[in-house]
Amino acid sequence: MIVPIGSAGEATRRTGTSGPHPARSVAVHGAGDQRRCEPDPSDAPGAAVTSQTPERRSAPAASRWRLPRSWRRATLVLHVISAGAWIGIDVIVAVLVLTGWFGAEVNVRSLAYRALAEFVVWPMLGSGLACLATGVVLGVGTAWGLVRYWWVAVKLALNLALCILIVVLLVPGMDAVGAYGEHLLTGTPSSTQVERLFFPPAVSLSVLTFATVLAVCKPWGRLRRSTARREDR
């Protein structure tokens, strides 16, 4: 059963904010019926101590830094754009890899590998880092926290892992991929440099799709309840 606590205006007074925010949920669900996609309303900085949260004292609003509403929205826009750009660049990588491998004309295949080596990897790393940076700002600057909820912590780990893989595995091999593309025009070079190129877009697109599902569904709840309580004090 859902028992609304006060009006929307009251919610705004309680939380000191409005609009999309983990603190915005002003519905309390029956025992065991807490929606897993939403953090506990009492996690909100400045949230009132209600009869449903007798043991919790809210932190004074001034003692915890939170992103102002407009900054939060702007950061979220940048976060979604950078995530979308990252996925788009991965799709371009997949198209270039497939064209380089299966293309009918050697000119086109050569061009695909050279374009891959020349243009793609740095924008991919840039969008990955932008997604990471804006995600960290959103985590730190909202009641979601960085390692407070599983869905945020897992996204953080995945984002870091992908960026490290780009730097450690992808970037160092790009000169060889470009050279392979040039040698295609003059002979039949060994394909060992490029046959592993199928993995990066496949892995990255799968992980980013999973991260997007996590972002939308926000599953699994909190990492540790005790941590959340400490943070609330």
- In the complex, the residues that contact ligand HEM under the rule CB under 6 A are 20, 72, 76, 79-80, 83, 131-132, 135-136, 138-139, 142, 144, 146, 152, 155-156, 158-159, 208, 211-212, 215-216
Q: What's the closest the beta carbon of residue 66 comes to ligand HEM, in angstroms?
A: 11
Q: What's the closest the beta carbon of residue 137 comes to ligand HEM, in angstroms?
A: 8
How many other CB atoms are found less than 10 A from the CB of residue 184?
23
Closer by beta carbon to ligand HEM, 50 or else 212: 212
Q: What's the closest the beta carbon of residue 118 comes to ligand HEM, in angstroms?
A: 25
Closer by beta carbon to ligand HEM, 72 or else 114: 72
Closer by beta carbon to ligand HEM, 15 or else 142: 142
Closer by beta carbon to ligand HEM, 99 or else 142: 142
Would you say the C-alpha torsion 98, 116, 172, 182 has a positive or negative sign?
positive
Closer by beta carbon to ligand HEM, 112 or else 152: 152
Closer by beta carbon to ligand HEM, 76 or else 176: 76
Q: What's the closest the beta carbon of residue 133 comes to ligand HEM, in angstroms?
A: 9
In this structure, the chain runs to a length of 233
Q: What's the closest the beta carbon of residue 20 comes to ligand HEM, in angstroms?
A: 6
Q: What's the closest the beta carbon of residue 226 comes to ligand HEM, in angstroms?
A: 21
Q: What is the DSSP string of 22-89?
A: GGG--EEEPTT---TTS--GGGSTTPPP-TT-TT--PPPGGGS----HHHHHHHHHHHHHHHHHHHHH
Contact 150, 215 (CB under 8 A): no
Contact 178, 194 (CB under 8 A): no
Contact 115, 178 (CB under 8 A): no
- C-alpha 26/C-alpha 11 separation (Å) is 6
- C-alpha 24/C-alpha 29 separation (Å) is 14
**CA-atom Rg of the chain in angstroms:** 23
| Residue number with the smallest Cβ distance to ligand HEM | 135
